[in-house]
Amino acid sequence: MRDRSTLADFPHRRRNLLTGEWLLVSPHRAKRPWQGEAAPPGVPPPPAHDPACYLCPGNTRASGAVNPAYAGTYVFANDFAALLDEGGTTQEPQGLFETMPAIGEARVICFAPDHGATLARLGPDALARVVETWCDLSAELGARWAHVQLFENKGAMMGASSPHPHGQVWASDFIPELVAREERHQRDWIEEKGTVLLGDVAAAELAAGERMIEANAHWLAVVPHWAAWPFETLLIARADVSRLEELTPAARAALAQILSRLLQRYDGLFGCDFPYSMGWHGAPHSLGPDTAHWRLHAHFYPPLLRSATIRKHMVGFELLAETQRDITPESAAERLRAVAAE
């Protein structure tokens, strides 16, 4: 076992406490010459209103529905939902190739009417409305479905179908695979140690400081010890709260504040609208009140590696063997801390 002081220079593996998976860290590779993909630079920010955008206020969507002249957040049923709230009720025979029904519903969340805005550029009031919308949707859909997954894909690099600032929510009658892994490992932790896993992680990260990006009285943003993507971050609630709707007014205001600062650091890192996929992991609603082991958190997975035009690809060894990264999480956190945020 190498001394911890050598982790910045030599290959080693780290374990993801939330999923149990291991990943390979190869920091010495960050020193190699780079001849990888160089994508064209990003385009200028879009206008405040695009008459061709199906998410802008007053415009017609592909379904023929017309968006109202909304002034804040606007939520509507996804016109091309991945889950439907009917059908799929017949269980297929079990055998070598298993299937099972899946039902649910999906909605689109327009964060703001401004086509050229992003969460990083929204003002405090507008960002607070997004937080309230997340909390309301978690409560409403969680009353009917086993799990509520709120997420945002930002940027064409992450497959966003429109540059208009928006996210989605998918509610399902099943607990998805990644969430089920987190459920199992958080439950095992409290049964074995008597403490909350992400509470212990937050306390250790606050004490160490080397992977911390932002903190306030209610939230902590870190590059997790087990980060897979170069500038991946984990946003952890510091109180014993398991779902968005449980947040106090003070915690909701603090969430809007730390989101703004974290996303501004992302944009400032390479001087671009930083792409990412992010999502909330609250306790699955099918657990009911049995959530003492679960701590509310959000994952941010950005693809950029070296600049606004060079991305990390999960290929080769990552697809066939184990996740691998070059720059250490500590180095990534140091670079994000160096970026100014308002």
Active site members: 166
DSSP state, 155? S
12-15 sheet: strands from edge to edge: 12-15, 22-25, 324-325
Task: Tell me how far apart the alpha carbons of residues 124 and 319 are, in angstroms, rounded to a whole number.
Answer: 40
Residue 93 tokens read as: 């025979």
Identity of the residue numbered 261: R
Closest by Cα among 316, 322, 20 to 181: 20
Contact 24, 322 (CB under 8 A): yes
Residue 166 tokens read as: 């928006």
Task: Tell me how far apart the alpha carbons of residues 42 and 35 are, in angstroms, rounded to a whole number.
Answer: 20
Contact 230, 332 (CB under 8 A): yes
Cα atoms in the Cβ-side hemisphere of radius 13 Å centred on 238 = 19
